Amino acid sequence: MKYALIIPDGAADEPQDSLGGRTPLAAARMPHMDEIAGRGIVGRADHTPPSMPSGSDVGTMSLFGYDPLQYHTGRAPLEAAARGIELAKNDWAIRCNLVTIENSVMRSFTAEQIPNDVAQAAIRRLQKEYCGSTEWKFHAGVSYRNLLIYRGRDETAPFDNSTHTIPPHDITGQPVAEFLPTGTGADDLLRMMDRSAEILPQVPENAARAQDGESPATQIWLWGQGHAPELANFQQRFGVTSAVITAVDLLRGIGRLLGWRIVEVPGATGYLDTDYAAKGRYAIDTLQDVDFIVVHVEATDEASHEGATNEKVTALEQIDSHIVGPVHRWLAEQGDYRILVCPDHPTFLRTKTHSHGFVPFAMCGREIDPDSQSRYNEVEAAKSKLELSNGYDLMPMFLGCD
């Protein structure tokens, strides 16, 4: 028995005037996702509890079958796990974005997709400024996605559950003053953010971007803090060996914590220019060695963050053509299988940010009796009687463990 889960991140959306009142999922040409809907079942699941942030850290944890209210401790610890950074009892991880803020407004939460070499030079300079500290350590990641680690040693960490931060992708185009960190330890975060605004213009590689007419990173934005979570091993819970394909550290981190194999795909960028076909090929190759493959695609979410409607539709069509189609075809040729398509959360083009609420899913395969739905989108899913308020119930249902 083989299983595949395809995650078009943030694919669920609202009707768009530019698409004739249709959502991107409804407007996109997706014959393979529609085939799954026609041969199986369509429903809705809510992966983001109202009391929690509506990000992929919460949404994918639920999608993988783990109640985020029980297991989630923060986004950054998951990314730390992806990079092999171990957190001790009093250690905390904090997401460190390189951003562009102009006239106190968040112009770009990615510093316009700052190149890796420039980002690494910026993080090295920041670490040099703090090299005398035994507590704070900067870790370079990919482009704007970096980490700050607080090493608590034997002391109590300066943060707790009252520490509140806002993701920078939630405030694009807005004044940042009302979204700054608050609560326990906020003074430490604010001090480092302010200091970074003095340091980053001094980084030659970053200053050169301004001279070339590109947006430099003007400071860091700290958010998503948390301590190490404790997640039960996925194979022990569900009895299947698993692997994940993603270009995003967050998903790699969850995968590592669950005991999954992490599959690196050349050309997987975590952006609109990702190599969709390569992800499809690697998924099929990996399925020959494991029972369950998860293929995560960030491009749909990135398109929403940029308010790019046509690009979101195109990304959905690429996912359908180069990932869902080939993977489903291969599975059907092997024998017994199940395939599931489901986003982790909605990401609205209108607001350019993540949202709470239900997302549509479609699954087909062995012992799944077809319902009356024949297309995969929000409208069709809303007609279904299959509605999971606790999204973490979807995985046991998919794997036949419910």
pLDDT tens, position by position, 84-138: 999 988 899 999 999 999 999 999 999 999 999 999 999 999 999 886 677 899 9
Tell whether 379 and 274 lie within a shared domain: yes
pLDDT-based confidence at residue 238 (cuts at 50, 70, 90): very high
User: Does 77 reside within a domain?
Assistant: no
In angstroms, the CA 312 to CA 25 distance is 9
244 and 381, same domain (yes or no): yes
* Whether 33 contacts 373, CB under 8 Å: no
Cα 280 to Cα 259: distance, rounded to the nearest angstrom: 22
Angle between helices 116-129 and 186-199 (to 10 degrees): 120
Q: Mark whether 6 and 29 lie in a shared domain.
A: yes
Looking at residue 132, what is its pLDDT? 64
CA–CA separation, 215 and 107 (whole Å): 9
Cβ proximity of 274 and 303 under 8 Å: no
33 with 120, same domain?
Answer: no
My answer on whether 257 and 376 are in the same domain is: yes
Domain that holds residue 386: 2-71+231-398
One domain, residues 270 and 360 = yes
> Into how many domains does the chain fold?
2
Residues 59 and 92 grouped into a single domain: no
Angle at 208 between CA 204 and CA 211, to 5 degrees: 140
Q: What pLDDT is attached to residue 258?
A: 97
For residue 154, pLDDT over 80 is answered with no
Which of 244, 347, 250 lies closest to 302, judged by CA? 347
* In a shared domain, residues 168 and 152: yes
- Position 282 in a domain: yes
Residue 210 has a pLDDT of 84
Which pLDDT tens digit goes with each residue over 355-367? 999 999 999 999 9
| Cβ contact 300:345 at 8 Å | no
Is 172 in the same domain as 277?
no
Residues 6+ apart with CB under 8 A from 157: 90, 91, 92, 150, 185, 227
Select from 226, 254, 271 the last residue of a domain.
Answer: 226
Instruction: Determine the average pLDDT of the residues in 229-253.
Output: 95
pLDDT in the model for residue 161: 86
Torsion of CA 279, 284, 286, 287, to 10 degrees: 140
Distance CA 102, CA 100 (A): 7
Give the residue from 226, 248, 283 where a domain finishes.
226
Which pLDDT does position 108 carry in this prediction? Answer: 95
pLDDT tens readout for residues 162-180: 999 999 988 999 999 999 9
Is residue 193 in some structural domain? Answer: yes
Asked if residue 53 belongs to a domain, the reply is: yes
Q: Write out the two tokens for 107.
A: 């112009």
Identify whether 153 is part of a domain: yes
- Secondary structure of the chain as H, E, C letters: CEEEEEEECCCCCCCEHHHCCECHHHHCCCHHHHHHHHHCEEEEEECCCCCCCCCHHHHHHHHCCCCHHHHCCCCHHHHHHHCCCCCCCCCEEEEEEEEEEECCEEEECCCCCCCHHHHHHHHHHHHHHCCCCCCEEEEEEECCEEEEEECCCCCCCCCCCCCECCCHHHCCCCECHHHCCECCCHHHHHHHHHHHHHHHHHCHHHHHHHHCCCCCCCEEEEEEEECCCCCCCHHHHHCCCEEEECCCHHHHHHHHHHCCEEECCCCCCCCCCCCHHHHHHHHHHHHCCCCEEEEEECHHHHHHHCCCHHHHHHHHHHHHHHHHHHHHHHHHHHCCEEEEECCCCCEECCCCEECCCEEEEEEEECCCCCCCCCCCCHHHHHHCCCEECCHHHHHHHHCCCC
The arithmetic mean of pLDDT across residues 236-253, rounded, is 95
Q: Is the pLDDT of residue 296 over 80?
A: yes
Q: Is the pLDDT of residue 153 over 80?
A: no
Residue 134 pLDDT: 75
Same domain, 235 and 163: no
The 10s digit of each residue's pLDDT in 313-335 is: 999 999 999 999 999 999 999 99
Looking at the domain assignment, is residue 76 inside a domain? Answer: no
Given this model, what pLDDT does residue 121 score?
97
Closest CA to 136 of 103, 99, 96, 109: 96
User: Quick one: 210 and 104 in the same domain?
Assistant: yes
Min mean pLDDT across 29-33, 50-54, 358-362 is at 50-54
Neighbour count for residue 17 (Cβ, 10 Å):
8
What's the CA gap between 331 and 178, in Å, rounded? 50
The CA distance from 396 to 402, in Å, is 5
Domain final residue, candidates 226, 245, 262: 226
Question: Tell me, what CATH number does 310's domain have?
Answer: 3.40.720.10
149 shares a domain with 37? no
Mean pLDDT across 66-79: 95
Encoded tokens for 64? 């993988």
Question: End-to-end CA distance of the chain, in Å?
Answer: 17
Whats the size of the chain, residue-wise?
Answer: 402
